[in-house]
Amino acid sequence: MTAFAVLAFILAVSSSARAQASRTWVSGVGDDANPCSRTAPCKTYAGAISKTAVNGEINCLDPGGFGAVTITKSITIDCHEVFASVLNAGTNGINIPFDNFTAVGETRKTVRLRNINFNGFDTGLRAISISGSAGTTNTKVFVEDCLLDGNQTSPGRGIQDFRAGGGLLVVDNTTIRNMLAAGITVDPTGGGGASSTSISVRISNSRISDCGSGANFGSNVKATIFNSNITFNFGAGIFAVQNSGGTTEVALDHCTVSLNVTGFNASSANTVIRVSNTTAMNNGTLSSTAGGGQVSSYGNNQTGGTAFPSTPTGQT
């Protein structure tokens, strides 16, 4: 290689590194041909993500709809203080395939989504779809201050998390409504294979309503739900199932689970739903169990006179 060729290669690498900024911007009047700077913003998240460095952040300059996007690196999309939306009619809103997080310097494997409105316009599939194979571990997704609405085409979910390698899902101060199947579905075996790895879920200060079911938790999921409302769902407010070993465990504290067809459904062996300090009134059926599943009360819930099946072992 000649000295000129070496110099050209170095300049190309340097130019590529400079092209990815730690913070980029989108605007309703932007252009994806721009560098996505504050003074020359992009128009869509898809246009900005290629110009944002690993662990960087995309912000919104002004209100707008910024389009569906597939995220392939650790990144934050934060649109606090302005209205930001994703129209996902006929498709997914944001895809997060962690197997594709292969960029140089990618160690966090973390995605944060803040203050985004997702509108499926009644034909959407999933607002947020998270995936990863068994070999992709220690991944994290945070969904904060978001609104997910209107996915009425199969599979019809608000958040779908099928990470076979496990990980963490945190949902805070988020509203999920009008989903054909479920507000939230978390299942490490959802991609079609067995998994003994757990997905840990924390839902707080959130609302799930008018969905086929509220929150569905599959094999080996460990979920905690705090100070949240799960109401007006056409199936179970909380559904737990186990089909691949381990235990599916769901704990609720200071929640409202009311006006669902069924409040709580532990539908198989090795599924446990524990309920504390929760209002669970006016469900068609308070709780349902099958195959040895358990729905347990700590004795401090409001149920309108209907009793839970059991008390957690060793608790009062």
Report pLDDT for 102.
Answer: 94
pLDDT by residue (tens digit) across 64-93? Answer: 999 999 999 999 999 998 999 999 999 999
Q: What is the pTM of this model?
A: 0.91
Report pLDDT for 192.
Answer: 57
Mean pLDDT of the chain: 92
Report pLDDT for 3.
Answer: 53
> Which residues contact residue 207 at a Cβ distance below 8 angstroms, ignoring those fewer than 6 apart?
174, 175, 176, 177, 228, 229, 230, 231
Q: Band of the pLDDT at 191, cuts 50, 70, 90?
A: low
Buried b / exposed e along 233-267 (16+ C-beta atoms within 10 A): bebbbbbbbbbbebebbbbbbebbbbbbbbbbbbb
